[in-house]
Chain A
């Protein structure tokens, strides 16, 4: 069984490899990631845990891009003010992005870092991929 590590311990670790979870375009251009479990993670993390993380991320992005009363109201109000409110106000999307960042940090601290993995926020990769850094197990805990 792999040793458990904290986020701080990972500073001593070497990057073994990176896994990229690609976008899933089957529902159109909305931001959604594939929930297919990458083979490289098989030995490191539980499949269900991983799928749950990606599914939660997908749900959060769906919430950001949701078309509904609120987004239409924001859009109409913006139009009436010649879109100047975008300069002052934080949009709904940006608020959800903050939530996503927090969620990813929390997942890293609680679940992924102890297993020697690190999730990268997709916004840092242009919402193209979820990058998962796999750290080597050996060097952790030896110092």
Chain B
């Protein structure tokens, strides 16, 4: 009987690396916990709630922002509202409450949403790009050309090569040095919300600053009304202030905030109407000062359309798949020091259909590749990833020694945007430097610290495998 049972088992299901890999992928019964992709994310971000929430590593003054909003609103509801409800209407705290909730929700959405981070290029993709631009096919360690020019709506646009992410940046994408990520439609890195502002969270950011303008103006107006009414009741403004000192605190905070927040809202309203980003506006990418016929190629030449597109357009998905699972890696040391991203083998539910097959095929492919390069005829039983294959090859990409491409650091001090850039503009903001917010492109030298090591033996790579 026992023999019969053994014979009934399909021999092809045992002993080969293929199925073992598939079972390992599908049933993680081994001691190794399946890791999620956010755990190996190469950018400088922090993840909470198992990848559901993400922040920049330097969360800046986000706690201060939240604190100020809570304190001001708390004082308002505690000290001013009772008086105003008695003297005016009950709608005052209602409106205040709605605005407050709106502000907090949009602030949290701005801070915790993926701004539109582009995942870094996988090694084979990066090698393919380098191969395409290295015409001579020689094995010199020349850095690839840094720009590629394309035509968008009959306008010449330069695409730059990102040495950290190993790809040509799509138009309007910029690399944030604080977060060490390329972000699509990069606007700026905002320390007040502790995150970059990009394609996916710009509308939240805009809603945040607009609703915050309304909230601060509303509180300011209510406090002035409160003090005025109280001074009429009690024969003097001094007496009124002594009776309600909290109102003075609110007044001071709101007074200094209003200038900056309203200015910022106005500035961003202009950007939305012109379909520009802060980054483009500061760099003057499409200004007519250059003497050419350069206009913004992304605008629809209609304020209403631009507003609709930027604020109410379709919400793009997150490209980094934080909560997807990594394929089990029995050689964790293969992740190189420059933290190459492991293959995106698993994805969200949208791709569950192809996922199983693809994982199978790719892991087959890699194990078979190793088989052919190492010892012919001895199949490797361990699944190998692209990193382990890469260890046998090495190319050094040296960064260019070019000067910083943007004049933003030079222009910051003089640029009229200075006022609006101080975001929340209380006293501390005035002292706060603009640099972290405007320093959006990465320096060439930061790329130099993380060279990709792929050898210059393209024949050994898995692209042309012979």
Contact = CB atoms under 8 A, between A and B. Distances in A.
Interface in B128-181: 128-129, 150-153, 157, 159, 167, 170-172
B312 A71 contact: yes
B151 A11 contact: no
A14 B312 contact: no
B223 to A, nearest CB: 25
Interface stretch (B58-66, B266-274, B364-372): B364-372
Given A14-B465, A15-B365, A133-B365, A123 B350 contact: yes
A120 interface: yes
- The A interface, classified by DSSP as helix, strand, loop or mixed, is mixed
A14 B376 CA distance: 13
A101 B353 contact: yes
A53 to B, nearest CB: 15
A78 B311 CA distance: 10
A105 B311 CA distance: 33
A15 B315 contact: no
B109 interface: yes
B323 interface: no
B118 A83 contact: no
B347 A91 contact: no
A131 B354 contact: no
Contacts of A23: 170
Contacts, number: 164
B464 interface: yes
A18 B150 contact: no
B312 A123 contact: no
Given A82-B207, A83-B105, A84-B105, A25 B157 contact: yes
A105 B353 contact: yes
Interface in B326-370: 344, 347, 349-351, 353-354, 357-358, 360-362, 364-366, 368-369
Contacts of A120: 358
B257 interface: no
B314 interface: yes
A64 B463 CA distance: 32
Given A18-B463, A94-B317, A101-B351, A125 B365 contact: no
A83 to B, nearest CB: 5
A139 B379 CA distance: 15
Given A25-B157, A28-B297, A125-B122, 19 more contacts: A11-B361, A12-B364, A13-B365, A13-B368, A18-B128, A28-B171, A29-B170, A29-B185, A65-B313, A79-B203, A79-B312, A83-B105, A92-B314, A98-B350, A101-B353, A108-B357, A123-B317, A126-B320, A131-B125
11 contacts: A7-B361, A11-B364, A18-B462, A28-B153, A74-B314, A82-B105, A91-B315, A101-B351, A105-B353, A124-B347, A131-B125
